A = this chain, B = another copy of it.
Amino acid sequence: MASTIRPATAADVPQILIFIRALAAYEREPDAVTATAEDLLRHGFGPTPFYFCLIAEHDGTPAGFAFYFFNYSTWVGRPGLYLEDLFVHPEFRGLGIGKALLQRVAAIAVENGCPRLQWEVLDWNTPAIDFYSAMGAEFLDSWRNVRVSGDALHRLAGASSDKPGAAQ
Contacts and interface: CB of A to CB of B under 8 A. Distances in A.
Given A95-B166, A147-B117, A147-B137, A103 B72 contact: no
Contact of A106 (B36, B123, B160): B160
Contacts of A121: 143-144, 146
A165 B97 contact: yes
Interface string A122-166: 111000010010011111111111111110111111111101111
B168 A144 contact: no
Interface residues of A, number: 94
A118 B145 CA distance: 7
Given A115-B150, A143-B122, A106 B157 contact: yes
Given A35-B76, A160-B104, A167 B56 contact: yes
Interface of A: 1-5, 20, 23-24, 29, 32-36, 39-40, 43, 48, 50-51, 56, 58, 67, 69-79, 82, 84-85, 95-97, 99-104, 106-107, 109-110, 115-124, 129, 132, 135-150, 152-161, 163-168
